[in-house]
Amino acid sequence: MSAVLDASDETVTAMVSVRDLDVSFGSTRVLHGVSLSIETGRTVGVVGESGSGKSTLAKVLVGTVRPENGQVTVDAIDVNGLSHSQRGAFAYRRRVQMIPQDPFSSLSPRRTIGQTLAEALDPVHANVRRFSDQIAFWLERVGLSADMMRRFPHEFSGGQRQRVAIARSLILEPSFVIADEITSALDVSVQAQILDMLAEIKEALGVTMMFISHNLAVVQNVSDEVVVMYRGEVVEAGSVAQIYADPQHWYTRRLLDADPGAPGFSLDL
């Protein structure tokens, strides 16, 4: 099933539905007429170069950017209908979570990992002792030891911090998770470990996911469908098999030709 659906198609129940989305910052149009749909339990990879609008789309879905036009529904919630306070409210964050690209900057250096995870569970009363069993469970689930909850972010490697960021996002057991370039700063061996671990947890939870990346090889391995963005528009979408074997848009072909893991890659000048 293609990630992009006709707006009149009401036979498909989607976890995420975006229709004719427009976003501008000042006089600059960042997203123009973006439409896509993600079915429950599926992973859609969103690819494109820097500036293509991938991260802005993610910010709309988590509620930190309000669009000018378009319909956005996540887990049966009309995101456009939420007030600013409702978008940031704990009830919405329980359903929608983002795993950040740079976990170090998103983790407070003054809080232990236990305090960070406790705050995710209860922003008002972040009591580590109260949530110690859940925190220990999730640290172990992402491949860390329970006693690491007493440590601070600077005591962890980049890969370990990314595991903490994943635990913080998934400890709420959200319906929809956005992974925004989560392996871009990691070496290849650590990337593989993180992706394998994430895929295993996703399967166990049945979570729906948007996986944003400029790395087409990574997207191919983790996604069911692929959406290609160029200059704020969706230029192509379809199954992984279709996009990688028979790309229709020139920009998709260019991305594949420039990817060392893709069939069309060439070093010939």
**Residue 212's domain is classified under what CATH number?**
3.40.50.300
Among residues 17, 34, 37, 18, the alpha carbon closest in space to that of 225 is found at 37
pLDDT at 9: 47
pLDDT tens per residue, range 104-125: 788 899 999 999 999 999 988 8
Q: Which domain holds residue 91?
A: 14-101+177-258
pLDDT tens per residue, range 152-165: 999 999 899 999 99
Instruction: Establish if 159 belongs to a structural domain.
Output: no
Instruction: Establish if 53 belongs to a structural domain.
Output: yes
pLDDT tens per residue, range 47-104: 998 889 999 999 999 988 999 999 999 988 898 888 878 877 778 888 999 998 887 7
Q: Mapping DSSP to helix (H, G, I), strand (E, B) and coil, where does residue 238 land?
A: strand
15 and 75 in contact (C-beta within 8 Å)? Answer: yes
Instruction: Establish if 167 belongs to a structural domain.
Output: no
Q: How many domains is the chain partitioned into structurally?
A: 1
- Rounded Cα distance between 192 and 166, Å, is 15
Across-strand partners of 253? none
Per-residue pLDDT for 263 more than 80?
no
Token reading at 34? 């973006």
- Rounded Cα distance between 49 and 214, Å, is 6
pLDDT tens per residue, range 195-210: 899 889 988 889 999 9
Instruction: Establish if 123 belongs to a structural domain.
Output: no
The mean predicted confidence, pLDDT, of the chain is: 87
Q: Mapping DSSP to helix (H, G, I), strand (E, B) and coil, where does residue 17 land?
A: strand
Q: Which pTM value belongs to this model?
A: 0.87
Residue that the structure tokens 């399967």 belong to: 203
- Rounded Cα distance between 171 and 190, Å, is 22
Instruction: Establish if 137 belongs to a structural domain.
Output: no
Instruction: Establish if 140 belongs to a structural domain.
Output: no
Instruction: Establish if 229 belongs to a structural domain.
Output: yes
Instruction: Establish if 212 belongs to a structural domain.
Output: yes
